[in-house]
Amino acid sequence: KQEVTQIPAALSVPEGENLVLNCSFTDSAIYNLQWFRQDPGKGLTSLLLIQSSQREQTSGRLNASLDKSSGRSTLYIAASQPGDSATYLCAVRTDSNYQLIWGAGTKLIIKP
């Protein structure tokens, strides 16, 4: 059974720092992995999707990597800003069906 873990549960860093959020999964047979952000009281915004055949995806200051063999993905945020404060979730789609398996999220706070 696929399980997705995000550590740490919360992270607070000063503005301007580069940071890495972690996502690990137990079964390497994934179809793709998606990173989302969720602002308080809001919906989920898709940030990046990495197919199983890809190693990384980039969008602006965000870079997501995928290492299937080790069951890990990282989301790198460069030059963090207070507007980056949100909860970041990763979700894995398994080969067997369309269901996304979700991590519990990392709550990120960027201090001005």
Partner 1 sequence: DAGVIQSPRHEVTEMGQEVTLRCKPISGHDYLFWYRQTMMRGLELLIYFNNNVPIDDSGMPEDRFSAKMPNASFSTLKIQPSEPRDSAVYFCASSDRQFSGEQFFGPGTRLTVL
Q: Taking the mean position of all CA atoms in its chain, how far away is CA 8?
A: 12
Alpha-carbon distance values, 74 to 6, 16, 41 (Å): 10, 19, 25
Q: Quick check: 62 binds partner 1 (CB under 8 A)?
A: no
Q: Quick check: 2 binds partner 1 (CB under 8 A)?
A: no
Compare residues 17 and 95 and give the one whose CB is closer to partner 1.
95
Q: Quick check: 76 binds partner 1 (CB under 8 A)?
A: no
Q: Quick check: 31 binds partner 1 (CB under 8 A)?
A: yes
Please give the Cα distance from 9 to 107 (Å, whole number). Answer: 6
Q: Quick check: 8 binds partner 1 (CB under 8 A)?
A: no
The answer to whether 23 touches 77, Cβ cutoff 8 Å, is no
Classified as helix, coil or strand, 8 is coil
Q: Quick check: 45 binds partner 1 (CB under 8 A)?
A: yes
Report the residue from 14, 40, 43, 112 that binds partner 1 according to the rule CB under 8 A. 43
Report the residue from 21, 25, 36, 64 that binds partner 1 according to the rule CB under 8 A. 36
